[in-house]
Amino acid sequence: MRAVHAAEFGGPEVLSVREVPGLVAGPGQVVVDVAAADVMFLDVQLRSGWGTEFFKIEPPYVPGGAVAGVVASVGADVDPSWVGKRVTTQTAASGIGGGQPIGGYAEQALAKAETLVPVPDGVSLSQAVALAHDGKMALAVFDRAAIQPGEWVLITAAGGGLGTLLIQLARAAGANVVAAARGSAKLELASRLGAHAVIDYSEPDWSAKARAATGGKGANVVLDGAGGALGAGAMDAAAIGGRFIGYGAAAGQFADFDREAVAARNIGVLGLFDLTANGDIDWHALAERSLAEAVAGRLEVVIGQSFPLEQADRAHATIESRTAIGRTVLTV
């Protein structure tokens, strides 16, 4: 079979397709014939050599932590009725709050039977894999934010896969949404999805504009997918007594701000690891719920760009250039 290998840490050019032996399902595992693989910003960061203190990845390796496709074979202790079913799943090596997001950029991938989520009719396999990470994370963030009708919600990285879902969820909850992103294409998308105001955070005064969009009171809820200095700017736009959930590091790191100053403003802060370490979250149920929302037409899955397996380097380059819109997938 063909698989994309990251030969070493470096730029997109370190990615290439190689012929490798086919896979055999072990105990509790299945082999999935991959139709589409998710491409995360995290994949790009790890390929560059970032994050080795969190993910013990050593080249050469096959990137990708989630796939969608058809179950080709199962381990001896797995229900054989899975064979032939359309599924989406994290790879066997991957996992929420742990594991390694590897093994997905290939014609076949190993997965644990317990993580398989059937893909319902009405959802394509590309759409399903676009929801594999973002669908359940968006719902986890949304549920924890407890957004109320009439509240102002500021969403950063609003033009990405997770941001586009959160815009829709916040609007459905009756909130007023301020979407912050970079560039006209992403802002136009955010407006189409229902954002009441859009802010380009490549502009130096974007945080003040975001606050002004709320009538000057600030956002009751900040959902930060950008991190870094952009996340700190989003915190500046938060209302006194607001809630801040930082789940992303698209700027290269999670948001960094003065904790004492934030506490003085009585702003509740929740980070990604606070979410992923929560043993009460049923991630499998959230994955099923996200697919059900898509089938019902309540969630639009935005796939901005799709590349064949042999162009994984182009997929990474597009994400690195900050021009990717919505979710990026590889097709097999």
Domain residue ranges in the chain? 2-130+303-331, 134-276
pLDDT per residue as tens, the chain (332 positions) = 999 999 999 999 999 999 999 999 999 999 999 999 999 999 999 999 988 888 889 999 999 999 999 999 999 999 999 999 999 999 999 987 678 999 999 999 999 999 999 999 999 999 999 999 999 999 999 999 999 999 999 999 999 999 999 999 999 999 999 999 999 999 999 999 999 999 999 999 999 999 999 999 999 999 999 999 999 999 999 999 999 999 987 766 778 888 888 989 999 999 888 888 878 899 999 999 999 999 999 999 999 999 999 999 999 999 999 999 999 999 99
**Separation in Å, CA 287 to CA 66, 122, 194:** 12, 16, 23
**Separation in Å, CA 114 to CA 25, 97, 276, 277:** 13, 16, 18, 19
What CATH number labels 134-276?
A: 3.40.50.720
**Which H helix or E strand runs over 210?**
helix 206-213
**Separation in Å, CA 32 to CA 15, 16, 29, 52, 81:** 22, 21, 10, 28, 14
* pTM reported for the whole predicted model: 0.95
Contact 157, 226 (CB under 8 A): yes
Identify the pLDDT of residue 97.
66
DSSP three-state, residue 34: strand
Contact 290, 139 (CB under 8 A): yes
250 contact partners, CB below 8 Å, separation of at least 6: 41, 157, 160, 225, 226, 227, 228, 230
Which fold, 2-130+303-331?
A: Quinone Oxidoreductase; Chain A, domain 1 (3.90.180)
